[in-house]
Amino acid sequence: MRILHVEGGRRLYGGAFQLLHLLRGLAARGHDNLLVCPRGCDLIAAAQPFAQVHPLPMHGDADPFMALRLHRLMRRMRPSLVHLHSRIGADVMGGLAARLAGIPVIHTRRIDNPEPRWLVALKYRLHDRVIAISEGIAQVLTEEGLPTTKLRVVRSAIETADYDQPCARQRISTRLGVPADALLIGVIAQLIPRKGHAVLIQALPPLIESHPDLRVLCFGQGPLEEKLRQRILDAGLSGRVTLAGFRNDLAEILPCLDLVVHPALMEGLGVSLLQAASAGVPIVASRAGGIPEAVQDGKTGLLVPPGDVDALRDAIGTLLADPQQRHTLGQGARALMARSFSIGAMVEGNLAVYRELMTRGTPGPSQRLDP
């Protein structure tokens, strides 16, 4: 098959990183990948071994000419089908372009943000299939009126072996600028409101009082950086909570964390949770969106209601006080990743949707395409 992929993100994390795994897997199986992404994005160099890359101007939802640019490319490249991997304008403009070109089109939905029913009815009419990366997102879509005949579930995945490695504690502590004997909590998420950093900051002061060696490292970037920095200062947490920025060495850092906390208010699935679990790190997270599929309460971590400061504080405190429970949950997390979130299963799940669409058979009911 000749598949044209469209990704509107500029940074190589989240959905773009999932797409890179998919491109690699499809190329290994003999399929021909074409990739459209924004000029100057991080995905260009990473994807070149696995796809013919076509950087284009892409300015998101406010770029009506994106559809024309994509349509011209589709007419020239003649792909078997089009796979849209993000919103940021790609979902609508890419869908319009594929419809104009008469090419079957798939859209992968990665977030559980609610959309008005009228918008769902209009937008997803452009797509022949919609892939949700979690059951949580699939439920949101069906509740908003997406026909189940269009909906498929293919979970995100990671290369678990990349994160399942020993901790080089002294080296990582020096690199991060923290004491070698510190109790380390990691938060791996964009600095945006729905990731819930403010909830964690509010929960921290009593925990730090009880655990003077506690350090919290927030990995990621985003528009809330300055506001969060001020919140940390106002809460008297300077020196205890660090905004550590975007890192490309998480595979080395994660095995050295004692706990990962993900207080998201909304979340499609959470690739960072899969990474942490693969490293054997226990997780405290919100019971939101697809998170319960990545974090099994009492087996791989602890789940709390989204936005509940007291519940978050209690769950973190429970695990900080119990190293054996952290170890047991971490082992359970590692086993879950190996069992249910392999890249091979994700690639085959997408291929199953491609093949189904290419046969032009009568669509069946919503179905899961993960193991």
- pLDDT at 273 (0 to 100): 95
pLDDT per position as a tens digit, 9-21 = 888 877 888 999 9
Bridge partner list, 245 = 219
Together in a domain, 142 and 191? no
How confident is the model at residue 361, as a pLDDT?
47
Q: What is the pLDDT of residue 339?
A: 85
Rounded Cα distance, 208 and 3, in Å: 51
Residue 187 has φ and ψ, to the nearest 5°, of -125, 120
Say yes or no to pLDDT of 139 above 60: yes
Question: Does 203 lie in the same domain as 127?
Answer: no
Give the mean model confidence (pLDDT) for residues 260-267.
96
Q: Indicate whether 176 and 144 sit together in one domain.
A: no
Domain containing 102 — which CATH number? 3.40.50.2000
Q: Residue 62 sits in which domain range?
A: 2-157+342-368
Q: Is residue 206 located within the same domain as residue 141?
A: no
pLDDT number for residue 369 = 53
Q: Which residue has the tokens 């249910």?
A: 340
Distance, in Å, from the CA atom of 38 to the CA atom of 27, rounded to the nearest integer, reads: 21
**124 and 237 part of one domain:** no
CA angle 242, 247, 250 (to 5 degrees): 100
Across the range 342-368, mean pLDDT stands at 78
Task: Write phi, then psi, for 6 (nearest 5 degrees).
Answer: -125, 120
Q: Alpha-carbon distance 58 to 67, whole Å?
A: 10
Residues 123 and 230 in one domain: no
pLDDT higher than 80, residue 252 = yes
Query: Is the pLDDT score of 263 beyond 80?
Result: yes
For residue 365, the model assigns a pLDDT of 42
| Same domain for 151 and 71 | yes
Above 80 in pLDDT, residue 80? yes
Predicted confidence at residue 334, as pLDDT, reads 94
| Mean pLDDT of the residues in the chain | 92
Tell me: do 332 and 364 sit in the same domain. Answer: no
**What is the model's pTM?**
0.78
**DSSP classification of residue 324:** H
Mean pLDDT of 182-211: 97
Give yes or no: residues 107 and 17 share one domain: yes
With pLDDT > 90 as the criterion, what percentage of the chain qualifies?
80
pLDDT tens digit string along 105-128?
A: 999 999 888 889 998 889 999 999
Q: Which of 154, 149, 118 is nearest to 350 (CA)?
A: 154
In this structure, the answer to whether residues 186 and 324 fall within a common structural domain is yes
For residue 366, is pLDDT > 60? no
**Could you give the number of structural domains in the chain?**
2
- Are 169 and 311 in the same domain? yes
| 213/113 same-domain check | no
What mean pLDDT do residues 225-232 have? 97
Pick the closest to residue 275 from 211, 330, 197, 205 (CA basis). Answer: 330
The pLDDT value recorded for residue 130 is 97
